[in-house]
């Protein structure tokens, strides 16, 4: 369905939710960590609660539960997208600025293109230019001030998180999964449980009640980041062109950078800003090339 066939006001609201909320979750993660939540317990509690709320609502509305095969596939995606993808983002944000984290994760479409090429979907034309630009930006971002030398564990965690998210996104194509909302609920339930278990195995504990700011950030991540924004994105996938729905990939980092500078006083050097721009240019080139191909 095209944008013209969907109410313009609803499209604008859904885009605003995806742009602003997903762009702000990186800073919310930082505030939750500073407020007393350990990385994997933060993700585990967040996704368990959000998944349980969404699952209960869907079942109350008569949506059928996933089959055994669908639960298995949801578990694999929960591991790749949430435990490794989101969980390692939480780990990285203990030493990497939220804005830089958002830009590093924005390189996911580059890795998706590489993994898709391994499955026979060869890049063509402008996509090669986008890949070259994007990976040049990734190298510059890693080597620049605040990059791999300054925060080796954080930047390595971001690299693994991006690879896991990208591979999971490509792996999910054609898999037996329930409806989009139920699939999200199942992934959050299973991924959240795995993250919680991993955090406990690693010795993470809530030794004291999190501070008010951390609790507020946690509530925002559950309600806004994991339920509202995802629902808006799922609606966009059904009502607008894919290139418009996927435009969050190069809008979220801009939002994250602005919020990080405004609310957390994060600062970035010239090389970092140039690298960020190059990455976003590469991602945009790939997105536009694929839109024209469709």
What does the alpha-carbon distance between residue 227 and residue 17 come to, in Å, rounded to a whole number? 11
Q: What is the token pair recorded at 195?
A: 């993250």
Closest CA to 222 of 48, 33, 35, 26: 48
Residue 149 has pLDDT above 90, yes or no: no
For 140-176, letters b (16+ CB in 10 Å) and e give bbbebebbbeebeebbebbbebbbbbbbbbbbbeeee
Backbone angles phi, psi at 177, to 5 degrees: -135, 155
Residue given tokens 């690299």 in the structure block = 159
Quickly state the pLDDT bin for 255 (edges 50, 70, 90). Answer: confident
Domain boundaries, the chain: 3-293
Q: What is the token pair recorded at 235?
A: 């609606």
Q: What is the token pair recorded at 116?
A: 């898709």
- Give pLDDT, residue 120: 72
- Give pLDDT, residue 243: 57
For residues 234 and 163, the model is more confident at 163
Question: Do 102 and 253 form a contact (C-beta atoms < 8 A)?
Answer: yes
Quickly state the pLDDT bin for 150 (edges 50, 70, 90). Answer: low
pLDDT tens-digit series, residues 188-220: 999 999 999 999 999 999 988 999 999 999 999
- Give pLDDT, residue 85: 93
- Give pLDDT, residue 274: 84
Quickly state the pLDDT bin for 79 (edges 50, 70, 90). Answer: very high
- Give pLDDT, residue 11: 84
Question: Do 177 and 74 form a contact (C-beta atoms < 8 A)?
Answer: yes
Average pLDDT of the chain, as a whole number: 85
3-state secondary structure of 278: helix
Question: Do 242 and 109 form a contact (C-beta atoms < 8 A)?
Answer: no
Least trusted range by pLDDT, from 27-31, 47-51, 93-97, 232-236: 232-236
3-state secondary structure of 79: helix
For residues 203 and 112, the model is more confident at 203
pLDDT cut 70: percent of the chain above it: 89
What does the alpha-carbon distance between residue 285 and residue 69 come to, in Å, rounded to a whole number? 36
Question: Do 259 and 27 form a contact (C-beta atoms < 8 A)?
Answer: yes
Q: Which residues contact 266 (CB under 8 A, 6 or more apart)?
A: 97, 98, 99, 257, 260
Mean pLDDT, rounded, for 59-88: 96
Least trusted range by pLDDT, from 33-47, 74-88, 112-126: 112-126
Cα dihedral 182→80→154→112 (10° resolution): -100
Residue 156 has pLDDT above 80, yes or no: yes
Q: What is the token pair recorded at 27?
A: 């800073």
Residues shown for the chain: 294
Mean pLDDT, rounded, for 278-287: 78
Quickly state the pLDDT bin for 291 (edges 50, 70, 90). Answer: low
Mean pLDDT, rounded, for 38-66: 96
Residue 63 has pLDDT above 80, yes or no: yes
């Amino acid at each position: 369905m095209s944008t013209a066939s969907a109410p313009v006001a609803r499209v604008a609201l859904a885009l605003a939710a995806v742009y602003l909320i997903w762009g702000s979750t990186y800073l919310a993660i930082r505030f939750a960590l500073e407020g007393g939540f350990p990385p994997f317990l933060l993700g585990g509690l967040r996704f368990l609660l959000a998944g349980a709320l969404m699952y209960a609502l869907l079942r109350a509305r008569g949506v059928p539960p996933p089959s055994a095969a669908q639960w298995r596939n949801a578990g694999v995606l929960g591991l790749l997208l949430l435990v490794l993808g989101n969980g390692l983002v939480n780990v990285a944000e203990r030493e990497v600025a939220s804005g830089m984290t958002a830009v590093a994760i924005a390189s996911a479409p580059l890795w998706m293109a590489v993994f898709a090429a391994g499955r026979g979907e060869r890049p063509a034309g402008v996509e090669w230019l986008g890949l070259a630009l994007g990976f040049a930006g990734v190298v510059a971002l890693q080597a620049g001030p605040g990059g791999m030398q300054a925060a080796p564990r954080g930047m390595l965690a971001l690299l693994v998180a991006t690879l896991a998210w990208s591979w999971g996104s490509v792996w999910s194509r054609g898999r037996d999964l329930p409806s989009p909302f139920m699939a999200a609920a199942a992934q959050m339930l299973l991924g959240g449980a795995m993250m919680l278990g991993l955090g406990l195995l690693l010795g993470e504990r809530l030794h004291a009640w999190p501070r008010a700011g951390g609790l507020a950030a946690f509530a925002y991540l559950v309600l806004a980041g994991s339920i509202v924004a995802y629902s808006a994105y799922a609606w966009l996938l059904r009502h607008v062109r894919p290139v418009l729905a996927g435009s969050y990939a190069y809008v979220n980092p801009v939002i994250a950078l602005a919020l990080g500078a405004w609310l957390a006083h994060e600062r970035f050097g010239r090389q970092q800003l140039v690298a960020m721009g190059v990455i976003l240019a590469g991602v945009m080139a790939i997105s536009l090339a694929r839109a024209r191909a469709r």
